[in-house]
Structure formats: C-alpha cells, structure tokens
Amino acid sequence: MTEFSLFFILDLLGTIAFAISGALSAMNRRLDLFGIFIIAFVTAIGGGTLRDVLIGSTPVTWMENILYIYLIGVVTIFAIIFRSKLNHLKKSLFLFDTIGLGVFTITGVEMGVQNDLNPIISIALGAMTGTFGGVIRDILCNEIPVIFRKEIYATACIIGGLAFVILHQLAVDTDIIYIATSLTVILIRLVVVKYHISLPSFYLSSKT
C-alpha cells in the first residue's frame, strides 16, 4: 500500500476533501476542537469504510495505513487555521464536498469491478461510497442530508459510474478512466448547480 498508485492517490484526495468539508461543517456548528476532528474524521473515512465493510475487505482501509489519520489531522488543523480564508463557507464546503464525491465514487466503482461484481452493482457501490461520508456529516451536524438538497448529488455519481464501466469494457487505460470519470462526476455537479438544473419530483398528494 506504500506504492502510490493512482487509486491510492485518489483515495487520499477524497479523504482530504471530505476532511475539509467535515471540519468546515463542524466549525459552522460551533463544535469544540475535538468535535471538529471527529466530524472531519468521520466524514473523511465514512464512504470508504462503508465500501470496505459491504465488500468484506476488513480491517477497513484507514486501519491498514496510518497515512489516512495523519492526513486528516493535518488537514483539519489547516482548515482551522485558514478558516477565515475559507470564509465563503457555503462555496468552499460545496467545492470540497464535490471533489470528495467525485473521487470516492470512482474508488467505489473500481472496488466493485476489481471484485468482479456486476457493473450496475459496482455503480451502486460507487454511489454509496461517494455519498455516505457527506450523509453522516450532515446527520451528525443535524443538517438535512446534502443528498436531498435538490442538487442532483447522486445523479452525478451514477453517470460517472456508468462512464467508468463503459470505458472499462472498452479496455481504456485504468489511470485515464480514473481521472476522466472523477472529473465527470465533479463537472456534472458543478454545471448542474451553476445552472440550477433539477430532476422532476413526483409529489404524492396524500389523502391520509
């Protein structure tokens, strides 16, 4: 695990991005120092942990490599020190959350493909990996989970995952797939939010 494969680098990048988003969320809730660390930690490892547990790859990734915890610690301190520079909170939070979403989704899809799971199942695993950290962060911080705030959060994951399995079946080079599909997820979310695109909802008029 000490060789820096692109997969490993993506996993670290997602960890960094989600740790920052967690720390920002926790500071916004006025949590104390350790509260900030905990939310950063749980947000950063949540998606990967779910992925590993569902696949049965235990002990989970962050337990096998101390780098994850160090990274989360350093990133959190960084987020605390530079909090005034990250002052457009909503924008920063959104950006880091989106990066984490993109790269973690792809690590989940890759894990599914590596384990010879059906492509559609791999995409579902990717979507869960990408979104779970943010969902726990929001539940712990008592926010409505970001996944339901109309921003086509999961749609981006699913399209990116679809691109992954198609490129994989076309035997495109793995590293190119990783980068292209992570960027796909990130770009879709950025575009969707910028232009306020939304999917239809189907309101059920309840007659109780």
The set of residues, in sequence order, having a beta carbon less than 8 Å from that of 172 and lying 6+ positions away, is none
DSSP class of 151: S
Cα-based angle 48, 156, 10 (whole degrees, multiple of 5)? 40
The label of the residue with tokens 């962050």 reads: 62
- Closest among 106, 115, 110 to 157, alpha carbons compared: 106
Which range of residues in 14-22, 99-107, 120-128, 181-189 is near its own copies by CB under 8 A?
Answer: 120-128
Q: Write out the binding residues for its own copies, residues 74-103 only, by CB under 8 A.
A: 80, 83, 86-90
Task: Give the span between the Cα atoms of 8 and 81, in whole angstroms.
Answer: 27
Contact in structure between 44 and 134 (CB atoms under 8 Å) = no
- Closest among 135, 106, 96 to 16, alpha carbons compared: 96
Q: Please, which residue, 173 or 204, has the CB nearer to its own copies?
A: 204
DSSP class of 4: -
Asked if 154 touches its own copies (CB under 8 A), the answer is: yes
In whole angstroms, how far apart are CA 60 and each of 26, 63, 168? Answer: 24, 6, 25
Asked if 202 touches its own copies (CB under 8 A), the answer is: yes
Q: Please, which residue, 127 or 179, has the CB nearer to its own copies?
A: 127
Asked if 58 touches its own copies (CB under 8 A), the answer is: yes
Among 1, 9, 53, 172, which residue interacts with its own copies (rule: CB under 8 A)?
A: 53
Q: Where are the beta strands (DSSP E) in 95-190?
A: none
As measured in angstroms, the least distance from the Cβ of 175 to its own copies is: 26
Task: Give the span between the Cα atoms of 76 and 4, in whole angstroms.
Answer: 23
Which range of residues in 10-18, 99-107, 119-127, 165-173 is near its own copies by CB under 8 A?
Answer: 119-127
Asked if 2 touches its own copies (CB under 8 A), the answer is: no
Residue count, binding to its own copies (CB under 8 A):
67
Which range of residues in 46-54, 102-110, 168-176, 186-194 is near its own copies by CB under 8 A?
Answer: 46-54
Interface contacts to its own copies, rule CB under 8 A: 24, 27-38, 41, 49, 53-56, 58-60, 62-63, 66, 69-70, 80, 83, 86-90, 112, 115, 117-118, 120-121, 124-125, 127, 135, 139-140, 142, 144-145, 147-148, 150, 152, 154-155, 158, 198-208
